[in-house]
Chains A and B, each alone.
Chain A
Amino acid sequence: MGTTEQKPPRRLVLYVAGQTPKSLAAISNLQRICSEHLPGQYEIEVIDLKQNPKLAKEHAIVAIPTLVRELPVPLRKIIGDLSDQEKVLVSLKIGDE
């Protein structure tokens, strides 16, 4: 996934399961939200748990897709395909102010 220009301490991890409809929708929604509202602010990593299920342990992932805001703390999880843009933006901006 895309990287930002200045390596900020902000990092998002999106957990998906292969090419399920919700996974595809979550990837496409996250790309759109970040490019439209948070350009260059986040480093995004997409992890396919279907290929590597062990990685679920790190963030104790139960449902897929799940977006984890790893940095800045506090850690935040947003579960679902990220189609509710307002909810996503509110969660991502917590602690920014």
Chain B
Amino acid sequence: MTPYVDDRDAIIADLRVRLAEAEDTLAAIRNGEVDALVVRDDQVDRVFMIEGDGQSFRTFMEVMDTGAVAVDERGNVLYANRTALALLGRTLNEIQGRPLRQAMDVANAGKIEELLAQSGSLRHSMQLLMADPVDGDRHYLASSTQLRVGTVTGHAVTFTDVTERVRAETMEQGERAARAVIASANEAVVVCDRDGVVTHANAAAQAVYQNAPVGRRFSEMFPLVFPSATGLLQTDDLVEMAVSGSAVQGIEAVATEAPDVKDYLVSAAPLRVAGDQISGCVITMVDLSQRKAAEKHQLLLMAELDHRVKNTLALVMSISARTLSNEDSLEGFHKAFTGRVQALAATHNLLADRSWSNLSLKDVIASEFAPFVEHSAGRIHIDGLDISVAPRAAIAVGLIVHELTTNAVKYGALSNETGSISIARLSDTPDGETLEFVWRETGGPQVREPKRKGFGRTVISRSLQYSPNGSCELEFAPSGVVCRFAIPAEDLTTERKIFGSPEAMKGRLANSKSS
């Protein structure tokens, strides 16, 4: 570029080129298109960075734990610190001057592009998931803020490792779900640590002993007795076995010290939260009270049946023996014996129909009259006896009414066409007192007391004497037979079921075993 001194046009052309170049340089500096200048200082050229070279900032960024990348407005990497290069798995040379998205996988590249496209000075963030060869997937929070480096506008992109936070959140969610499962369970669920101290207990568990057991030892808060383990297994052992890794399944236990003593089916299993390490145990307690009650009820039903069969056989044998001793002929025995057994059967039929629950006195009496009603319609009056009595009273009344009816048909009010029988309650019986009613015959032939005292009179006088409060008195009044019944108060409770109170049931059970 040596100018020709003698060629003025050439000089002018050269000066024009230099002027244009100078103007270009000035315009470039003014427009921020350059970020360094060459300055001649004492005959030596030096490079001068406009707004400094940022080296001190880079040194600072290098020691940061947060990944930091500076990109220009087109997304090309200007600089990335050590942490950012490590998480991207690249060297600075590989990514400098190239789009940041090229340093990432497809999914994250899209997110980074989206992040950088968000304009304005606000900080924008997005979560990225990056594969880590050592630690599996790691979560990063990528944030972008507008940045001005020297004359360049771009973005500062930071990558904060939030893996631990995400994992903690995931674990917390899992724990929350587990707690919800425990809380929703109908069974009592108790979680203990390795020392047997309760860490969780759902509402059903807290209801067992009506307390807040968390923080206390399981064996103190839930003292259990294991009847089938004959004292060898204690509550502490249960926890110890589970914590040592042996699951205990379905052992029957009784919460003897609970306000509401109940039977439970108890299971205990080791609790493994992470890996194989046992961090405690989970104990579940299923309420067995309903099943136990059903078992007891069934046992009592069998005992009751046994008891009744024995009683009935004894009664039949007694009827047979006494009838035999009072009848002169085989025919007479057959008739009397059959009648008495039928009377017994009539009451039994009623009892069977009602599943051996309480019977109404009116029904019992009416069933004994049934064979004679056809001939005696309108002559028998039963009044005020729609009262429930226990089975033993029903059987006794049935047998007595049979004897009275047989006698009335043979000799009394039902032996002619004009007699009638009234069976009526004497007066309203207050609760807890003996019920009295009277059998009264009228209009029949004149009555004389028979000389011979047969088995029928024994049946009448003794059948209700199973209780000191029960009785039956027969009077041979000339105008007609009168018989006064007294039903023991304990057999009158209308609401009572077949076996009466639990205590009475236990007593009955004991008696039947010994009899």
Contacts and interface: CB of A to CB of B under 8 A. Distances in A.
Contacts of B44: 53
B149 A17 contact: no
Interface in A1-46: 17-25, 27-28
Interface residues of A, number: 30
A79 B24 contact: yes
B6 interface: no
A90 to B, nearest CB: 13
Nearest to A63: B34
Contacts of B53: 18, 20
Contacts of A83: 33
A54 B29 CA distance: 21
Interface in B94-145: 96-98
B25 A79 contact: yes
B38 A49 contact: yes
Contact of A79 (B34, B45, B47): B34
Contact of A80 (B34, B96, B98, B149): B34
A21 B38 contact: no
Interface in A45-88: 49-50, 53-54, 56-57, 61-66, 74-75, 77, 79-81, 83
Contact of B29 (A23, A24, A63, A75): A63
A21, A74, A79, A81 — most chain B CB neighbours (10 Å): A21
Interface string B20-56: 0100110011010111111000001111010001000
Contacts of A50: 36, 47
B185 interface: no
B150 interface: yes
B74 to A, nearest CB: 8
A21 B77 CA distance: 9
B15 to A, nearest CB: 14
Given A56-B38, A77-B21, A64 B33 contact: no
Given A64-B34, A64-B38, A22 B76 contact: no
Contacts of A20: 35-36, 49, 53, 150
A64 B35 contact: yes
Contacts of B150: 20-22
A22 B152 contact: yes
A28 B35 CA distance: 16
A24 B97 contact: yes
Interface in B50-90: 53, 70, 72, 74, 76-79
B154 interface: yes
Nearest to B21: A77
A22 B34 contact: yes
B28 A63 contact: yes
Nearest to A80: B33
B289 interface: no
B178 to A, nearest CB: 52
B273 interface: no
B76 A25 contact: yes
B349 interface: no
A62 B25 contact: yes
B352 interface: no
Contacts of A22: 33-36, 150-152
Contacts of B33: 22, 79-81, 83
B441 to A, nearest CB: 130
17 contacts: A19-B79, A19-B96, A20-B36, A20-B150, A21-B70, A21-B72, A21-B154, A49-B45, A50-B36, A53-B46, A53-B47, A57-B45, A65-B36, A66-B34, A79-B28, A79-B33, A80-B34
